[in-house]
Amino acid sequence: MTRLFRFFALGLVAVFLAGCGVNNIPTYDQAMKGKWGQVQNEYQRRSDLVPNLVETVKGYAAQEKDVLTAVVEARAKATSIQLSPDIVNNPEEFQKYQAAQGQLSQALGKLLSITEAYPDLKSNQNFLALQSQLEGSENRIAVARKDYIDAVQTYNTELVTFPGRLWASTFYSSYKPAATFSADAGADKAPKVDFNKPKN
């Protein structure tokens, strides 16, 4: 009878704890990390498009060496950052990664802007296909980042509100707030392009 009572009591405690959201923190953490993985996936997809885009533009606008070099260097920097498993809990490392991706976005924006001065390039089928894929990638990145931001908000809120705060201090003390995206520096300004500069 005592054993049955203990079993019943443990069952009640388990149901009580589950109903009070004791599993919310690890559940939200896993959801947030899944969304982060999708952000990384979309950034990688964009990065994979860059070499072909640069080569195509170079074939028609080799004189735009500075812009082409800036794109190549920005891609190299963005892909050279070693991401630790806990990057989402490391604001400095997260900011560094975001800044590198933002620099690549700006470099690509300038590259696409200069193509307006090259009608033959604008009509090249390969370039048009790459441009379309790049635009699709940028849209997917925006969606993935929004989904990640929403997941971080849910997770971080759970850590600081009741009863999540109670569970965080008793069972999940190793779980830390996650970093999130902010607007990229200069994102509110269009890249400046001078179509009247002399061609070499």
DSSP letter string, 17-30: HHHTTTTHHHHHHH
Q: Which domain holds residue 166?
A: 22-170
pLDDT at 73: 97
CA-CA distance, 86 to 91, in Å (whole number)? 10
Total domains, the chain: 1
| Residue 31 within a domain | yes
Asked, for residue 189, whether it belongs to a domain, the answer is no
Q: Closest Cα to residue 189, out of 75, 76, 98, 105?
A: 105
pTM for the structure as a whole: 0.83
Q: Is residue 183 part of a domain?
A: no
Asked whether residue 184 is domain-assigned, the answer is: no
47: alpha, beta or left, given left = phi > 0 and alpha = psi -120 to 50? alpha
Residue 156: the pLDDT is 97
pLDDT tens digits, residue range 141-190? 999 999 999 999 999 999 999 999 999 999 999 999 999 998 765 555 54
Nearest Cα residue to 42 out of 135, 151, 181, 126:
135
Report CA dihedral (11, 29, 85, 81) to the nearest 10 degrees: 170
Nearest CA to 158 among 33, 24, 32? 24
Q: Does residue 7 fall inside a structural domain?
A: no
Q: Could you tell me how many residues make up the chain? A: 200
| pLDDT score for 21 | 83
pLDDT of residue 2: 72
* Cβ-based neighbours of 154, under 8 Å, separated by 6 or more: 28, 31, 32
- Omega of the bond prior to 191 within 30 degrees of 0, cis? no
Do 161 and 52 contact (CB within 8 A), yes or no? no
User: What's the confidence (pLDDT) of residue 195?
Assistant: 39
User: Is residue 82 situated within a structural domain?
Assistant: yes
- What stretches in the chain show pLDDT beneath 70? 1, 4-19, 184-200
Compute the half-sphere exposure of residue 125: CA atoms within 13 Å on the CB side of its CA: 0
Q: Identify the DSSP state of 186.
A: T
Note whether residue 4 is domain-resident.
no
Q: Are 42 and 17 in contact (CB under 8 A)?
A: no
H helices of the chain, where? 2-19, 24-60, 65-80, 91-114, 119-122, 125-160, 164-170
> Residue 118's domain is classified under what CATH number?
1.20.1440.20
- pLDDT at position 79 is 95
Residue 135 falls inside a structural domain: yes
Pairwise CA distance, residues 188 & 173, whole Å: 39
pLDDT of residue 132: 95
